[in-house]
Amino acid sequence: MATPQHRPGVVRADDVSAEERPRFLRGERVASRVRQIGNAAGLRQMGVSIRIAEPGHYASNRHFHEVEEEWATVLSGTGIARIGPHAFSVRAGHFVGYPPGPRAHDFEATGQEPLVLLEGGERRPDEERGWYPDLAKGWSKNGIEDRDSPPPADESSPGQCIHLDDCEVLDFAHPVESLARRRKRNLSEATGLVRQVVAHAVVAPGDLSTAFHTHTRTDEWVYVLSGRARVRVGDTHFEVGAGDFIAHPAGSPPHGMQALDELHYLMGGQRDPEDTVLYPEHGQRLHRGRFSALDS
């Protein structure tokens, strides 16, 4: 019998148990299943999950965050994304960003197949507050709360919902590693997010996704859409493929991957001006946009 691969920081999404939602407040036709893949893989400073809503159901109660940034991208199925007064028909490849504030939002699954979302956001539990405006409820670090006063008036922008096909394709070449190159579409920035980063990337067979590196202050993640890659985490090497989720928490071992086939994936992380990126094999560090020698 073959010995299973040791794959630190990796979970296969379908292997993570699905939890029924909502947990606390039962809105009409609100029902979904959530796989908390970020938790299972070891992310600490953000959450990433797969949420599945059956046709005719809403994926969550309509809500908004006062402090945390949030986002969702459609992996499969069709639906309606509501943000305040706006409603968007969505399909695979749509990305929706939710900056903090009164942009109450939800998804409705409208097709013949389940609506499957990859979603995520920040974790700021000590300062976070939010609203369920249709239920006259809110939440804070103390739990669900009744709210006597109405929520602020809805705000939203059509630019919060974009499709991958409409995003500019950028050619990225890493300044410290000549074999690290990819085609990239930035998703989060266009929708108004400033602290969460989400992008779609394609790497040609044999190329590296990035230089071997680690971050001192920010979490990173990768969700493989198609293709295969050889991943290196510290001194450990292993293979990943479609449906695998890889977590790289801040301060974890250096990492990188090489495409074995044409590799398509979603990637994300955080923006923190005090973060430092370390490149141990190249003897370099990157801080506030400037490279310097690691031993300086």
Beta carbons of 129 and 139 less than 8 angstroms apart: yes
| Average pLDDT over every residue of 57-68 | 97
Residue 2 has pLDDT above 60, yes or no: no
Number of other residues whose CB lies within 10 A of the CB of residue 15? 11
State how far the alpha carbon of 33 is from the alpha carbons of 40, 77, 118, 202, in Å: 16, 15, 12, 29
* Domain range 10-164, CATH architecture: Sandwich (2.60)
The three-state secondary structure class of 177 is coil
Single out the residue of 172, 256, 179 nearest to residue 214, CA to CA: 256
- Per-residue confidence (pLDDT) for residue 4, from 0 to 100: 63
- 10-164 shares its CATH topology with 166-293: yes
> Domain spans of the chain?
10-164, 166-293
Beta carbons of 265 and 222 less than 8 angstroms apart: yes
Higher pLDDT, 231 or 27: 231
Confidence band, pLDDT 50/70/90 cuts, at residue 196: very high
Q: Do the strands 19-21 and 32-35 form a parallel or antiparallel pair, or are they unpaired?
A: antiparallel
Single out the residue of 119, 143, 134, 130 nearest to residue 29, CA to CA: 134
| Average pLDDT over every residue of 93-122 | 97
Beta carbons of 287 and 218 less than 8 angstroms apart: no
- Per-residue confidence (pLDDT) for residue 171, from 0 to 100: 98
Average pLDDT, the chain: 95
Distance between CA atoms of residues 74 and 87, nearest Å: 15
Distance between CA atoms of residues 235 and 254, nearest Å: 9
Beta carbons of 157 and 66 less than 8 angstroms apart: no
| Homologous superfamily assigned to 166-293 | Jelly Rolls (2.60.120.10)
- Per-residue confidence (pLDDT) for residue 295, from 0 to 100: 85
